[in-house]
Amino acid sequence: MIAFLLMMIAPAVVAAEGQWAALRQGRTCEAASKSVGAAYKDRPPARASISFDSGGPRHGQFAVRLSRLPRPDATVMLYVGDQPFLLMTRAGMAWSRGPGQEQAIIAAMRKSGGMRVEARSLGDGRIVDRYVLDGAPLAIDAAAACAAALANH
């Protein structure tokens, strides 16, 4: 029973390449990567993902956990190459604003070598979390295929 519960909690690796991996957890599959910056001892590392639900509402939703907490009124910006995207935010997380933006983010990720997320921190410093996009296209495709396969079962 415990092994079964652990399998339900821990994500399974579907595919991996470069700095990205496609993961399956329950009925959700995602392409994910940790930032290349330093991690803080009191927080989990910054992490970006593209999520797909099998039969659910997410079909390429971009989400990011910031390396530090932003100010409550902070704007969180994603830059994929030189292309900016304004994200929705709550606490230390930020998300894409809908299907049109999600498609544009994924298209930009396929053409660019890197991305960064920027915001102002609680102490009025800058948060800049950087990501390498090596392996992102494969991980995104694998996560989308994973969710589609789960929806068909």
| Residue listed under structure tokens 């995207």 | 85
Query: What's this model's pTM, rounded to 2 decimal places?
Result: 0.88
Tens digit of pLDDT for each residue in 67-117? 999 998 899 999 999 999 999 998 889 999 999 999 999 999 999 999 999
Using the predicted structure, report yes or no on whether residue 8 has a pLDDT greater than 70. no
Distance set, CA 38 to CA 30, 34, 58, 69, 95 (Å): 23, 10, 29, 15, 22
Q: What is the mean pLDDT of the chain?
A: 90
Q: Rounded distance, CA 117 to CA 131, Å? A: 9
Which is higher by pLDDT, 53 or 33?
A: 33
- Mention every residue, 6+ apart, whose C-beta is less than 8 A from residue 79: 85, 115, 116, 117, 118
Q: To the nearest whole percent, how much of the chain has pLDDT over 90?
A: 69
* Of the candidates 11, 82, 84, the residue with the CA atom closest to the CA atom of residue 49: 11
2-151: in CATH 1.10.3720.10: no
Q: Rounded distance, CA 83 to CA 99, Å? A: 17
